[in-house]
Amino acid sequence: MKRPVIALLAALTLPPQALADGLDDFIKRSGDMEVPPATASAGEAEKAEKAQAVAELDMASMMDDFLLTDTAFKTAKGTVVHVSFGKTTNCPSDPGLGVSCDDSKYFALFKPEGGKLYGGNLSKIANYGIFASGSEDFPFDGSGVHTVKLMVEDRSDDNKNIITVERAGRQVYAATIGQILSARNKRARRVTLDKEYMVFLSQGLTQSEDKELSVNPAKSLFTFIPVSNTANFIQVDAGKLTAAGVSVPELGAAYKLAVKDGKLLITK
């Protein structure tokens, strides 16, 4: 049986393989599991256009929409800050925390409306009994320091582990991991292939040596999440999709993905 996301927060008490297993569960819950790259279709653009259209999705409206969840709070200046989850495409090693480079990619994400993206590394903000006591401070819109924590109450239940934000000693936000992931999934576009999928489009996230988060506009990724089994995800590099059409075997051999005129076209 798969363990919930919070299994990864035993970073200071679990051996490396156990930690990796917990992080694998988190990847699957948050829609970031990597799969082999899509392979180019033998068909040409003209054939793709004549194929049966299944879905047409506007990429501009989809881009990073998963950040704008309805679970949010306001700063003292009234700026709305949306909360979500994601992972970076790179990471510095962090042997001091007992966490491998690959395991330190995961972040709670905070997107102030009209402002830059902030991220709290889960291995740094976790609080779990005597084993971990972490937090990160963010200025957001300059209205004061906001302290972000992940309070771990029960590693077996995503709905009993809470992201909190405090300002001037007062809690201004609290939501469970389950609530945040549910809010994120509501931002998806839905398409029906052999099964129904939630679809996201995001720019790549990177982090510096001090774990400061930034957006990598050169890397755009589509993520397909089966509605019937949210433990399985398929991620496709948008930069490898062409107008001629690309086959992604994990989505079904009959389907092709193409990018044309700013739209994702799915044909059969």
Q: What is the mean pLDDT of the chain?
A: 81
pLDDT at 55: 95
Structure tokens at 164: 């909190």
pLDDT at 130: 81
Report which listed range, 56-65, 100-109, 213-222, is most confident: 56-65
Higher pLDDT residue, 154 or 113? 113
Residues 58-65 have a mean pLDDT of 96
Predicted pLDDT of residue 4 = 52
Residue 30, pLDDT > 80, answer no
Instruction: Identify the residue whose tokens are 């092709």.
Output: 256
d(CA 168, CA 11): 29
pLDDT band at 13 (very low <50, low <70, confident <90, very high): very low
Calpha distance 95→126 (Å, rounded): 17
* Residue in 114, 96, 84, 124 with CA at minimum distance from that of residue 212: 124
Q: Count Cα neighbours of 263 within 13 Å in the Cβ-side half-sphere.
A: 11
Round to whole Å and give the CA distance between 17 and 58: 40
User: What CA–CA distance (Å, rounded) separates 263 from 260?
Assistant: 5
Local structure of 176: helix, strand or coil: strand
